[in-house]
Each structure stands twice: as structure tokens, then as C-alpha cells.
């Protein structure tokens, strides 16, 4: 089965490296944001304005409130959508998100879609409507991982370039396990050379380690190479105890949902299971350092229930 990038990993890394994310994708907006005033992820707050049915569960991936340095607007919203598969009506969905968010907050919105799929010709960025003399055109920022130049990402000093490079390597190595092993090792070496702060290295490594999943025998080979690279010691937060979240997902019986992101896969798997399975999945996600709020959204367990499971992780 064709495997796409798990949305849940992208959502988490965007939150972990949000300032770097904005600097990388929105160079024009970045200097005008007052990061000293903080920012707030509103995903949970706005979830009620999106449709939710048994057939199709749709929420905006990331909605972030940020403050501006100058101008009349005290704060604005950044809407980010991660799209890892072909969807004919994607642009229409982006427009629906826009008008629902705008209707709720009446604030200016910057929208970005990041396409992580392997289709060269798929990058919709406009929704148009016309009926007699009534016309509408909604255009948003689009970014296609597959179109990016490897050399430029390697040279970039922005840590989020390593995230995008991991995404590019994932696409390039689809169905090519030995290539994926090579890419994963190269990216790990590059991450150590960049000289980022330990906290950033840990977050990026957890992302690439999960995204560039390998079969067990090649994962062991990769671990041996990393041990040789680091002299068997933990280096800047890179340890081989960080397990592959993608494989954890498969072991929990949620492989069927991977084409629309691992988060939806978890939700589908849970629909067919009992509360015990929810708890088991939550424990595995806690082991992999996934944010409690994301686990709560994915499993349906309350934050308090998940907090009580922490003692089982150690």
C-alpha cells in the first residue's frame, strides 16, 4: 500500500518549531510578527465550527493566533493545512475553512497549504466560483515538497529546512528501502553538523526518525551506523531509544488509515476497538513524546485520563 506522510508528525513539528516555520515559509510576514508577545494554537477552540460526520472528519490542521508589530491589526491568524494525498475538492475545503474561521473571529487570515504527496502535477491553490454575474476567487499560499531543491535545503541555516528535507527524502525513497536508509543516515549526520541547540535537534530528530520509517532489519543497521557516528554516546539529544511512531501505528492495527495521515488512522482503528485499545495507543504515543493534546484528539481520551497513564510509560 502507498504510504503518505503522517499529518500528526507535521502538526507537532510545526508547533515545536513555530518561529522557524514562519521564517521558512512566510519570509514577508515573519519580520512583522511580534513573537515576544507569544502565540496561541487555536485548533481545539475552533474545532466546533468544522463539520464532523462518521463518513468524513474534517478539521483545519493548524490555526495560530499571532500578534503584529505594527499596523491596525493587533493580531491575525495563520492557517496551515498539510495535504499528503490527492483530493479533488481540496481548494473548496480550504475556502470553507477560511470563511468559517473569518466568520468566527473577523480577523485577517494568512493561509498556507503544504503538499507532502508524490504527485508532480498536484498543487491546487485557487478556489473559484461563478454563477451568472456572481464571481468569487480565493487564493492561498501553496508549497510543494517534491519541487524543492535538495542543495538549497542543505545549505539553509533555518532548522525547518531539515524538516522539509526529511519530507523530500521520504518522497524520493518511496518503495526504495535502501535509499531511505541512506537518506536517513545522511540527514542524521547533517543534523549533527548544523550546530543547532540541543532542544531543536531532539525535536527534528524525533520527526525524521518517525517519518523516514524503516523495516526492523534496516532500522537496526541504521542504529549501528549512528552509534559509530556518535561513538556510542548520546550526542546532542540523539539516542536510539526513540522508536518509530509510524511502525508503532502499524503494530496497533491502524495501517488502513495511513493514506490520510496517522491521526485519522488512529481514529478509524479506535472506532473498531474498545477502550483498552485506546489506552494502549495512548501509552505508545506517550512513549514517543507526542503532545498530550494531540493524543487526546486522536484517541478521544480526556487529558486527565492521559495524564494518569504517564506512570505506565517508564
Decide: 216 and 255 in contact? Cβ < 8 Å: no
- Has residue 307 got a pLDDT over 50? yes
Can you give the pTM of this predicted structure?
A: 0.72
Q: Which residue has the cell 470553507?
A: 96
Helix (H, G, I), strand (E, B) or coil at 285: helix
Predicted confidence (pLDDT) at residue 272 exceeds the cutoff of 70: no
What is the sign of the dihedral through the CA atoms of 37, 23, 97 and 204?
Answer: negative
184 close to 169: Cβ distance less than 8 angstroms: yes
pLDDT at 268 over 90: no
HSE of 177, CA atoms in CB hemisphere, 13 A: 9
Q: For residue 90, what are the contacts with CB-CB under 8 A and spacing of at least 6? A: 83, 113, 124
Burial of 230 (0-12, 13-18, 19+ CB in 10 A): middle
Average pLDDT, the chain: 81
CA distance 234 to 145: 31
The three cell numbers locating residue 121: 502535477
Instruction: Determine the Cα–Cα distance for residues 294 and 290; give it in Å rounded to an integer.
Output: 7
Given a cut of 50, whether residue 55 has pLDDT beyond it is no
pLDDT in tens, 106-120: 999 999 999 999 999
Amino acid at each position: 500500500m502507498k504510504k503518505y506522510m503522517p499529518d500528526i508528525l507535521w502538526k507537532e513539528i510545526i508547533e515545536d518549531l513555530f518561529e522557524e516555520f514562519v521564517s521558512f515559509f512566510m519570509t514577508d510576514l515573519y519580520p512583522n510578527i511580534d513573537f515576544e508577545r507569544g502565540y496561541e494554537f487555536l485548533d481545539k477552540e475552533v474545532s466546533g465550527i468544522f463539520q464532523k460526520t462518521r463518513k468524513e472528519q474534517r478539521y483545519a490542521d493548524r490555526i495560530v493566533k499571532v500578534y503584529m508589530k505594527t499596523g491596525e491589526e493587533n493580531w491575525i491568524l495563520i492557517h496551515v493545512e498539510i495535504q499528503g494525498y490527492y483530493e479533488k475538492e481540496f481548494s473548496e475545503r480550504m475556502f470553507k475553512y477560511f470563511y468559517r474561521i473569518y466568520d468566527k473571529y473577523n480577523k485577517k487570515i494568512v493561509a498556507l497549504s503544504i503538499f507532502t504527496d508524490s504527485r508532480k502535477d498536484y498543487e491546487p491553490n485557487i478556489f473559484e466560483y461563478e454563477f451568472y454575474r456572481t464571481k468569487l476567487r480565493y487564493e492561498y499560499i501553496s508549497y510543494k515538497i517534491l519541487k524543492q531543491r535538495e542543495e538549497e535545503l542543505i545549505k539553509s541555516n533555518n532548522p525547518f529546512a531539515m524538516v522539509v528535507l526529511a519530507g523530500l527524502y521520504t518522497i524520493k525513497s518511496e518503495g526504495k528501502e535502501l535509499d531511505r536508509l541512506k537518506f536517513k543516515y545522511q540527514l542524521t549526520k547533517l543534523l549533527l553538523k548544523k550546530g543547532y541547540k540541543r532542544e531543536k535537534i531532539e525535536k527534528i530528530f524525533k520527526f525524521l526518525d518517525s517519518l523516514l520509517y524503516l523495516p526492523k532489519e534496516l532500522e537496526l543497521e541504521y542504529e549501528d551506523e549512528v552509534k559509530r557516528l556518535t561513538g556510542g554516546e548520546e550526542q546532542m539529544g540523539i539516542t536510539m531509544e526513540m522508536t518509530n511512531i509510524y511502525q508503532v501505528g502499524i503494530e496497533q492495527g491502524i495501517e488502513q488509515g495511513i493514506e490520510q495521515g496517522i491521526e485519522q488512522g488512529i481514529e478509524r482503528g479506535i472506532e473498531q476497538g474498545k477502550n483498552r485499545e485506546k489506552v494502549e495507543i495512548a501509552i505508545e504515543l506517550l512513549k514517543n513524546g507526542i503532545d498530550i493534546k494531540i493524543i487526546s484528539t486522536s484517541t478521544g481520551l480526556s487529558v486527565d485520563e492521559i495524564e494518569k497513564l504517564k506512570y505506565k510509560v517508564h
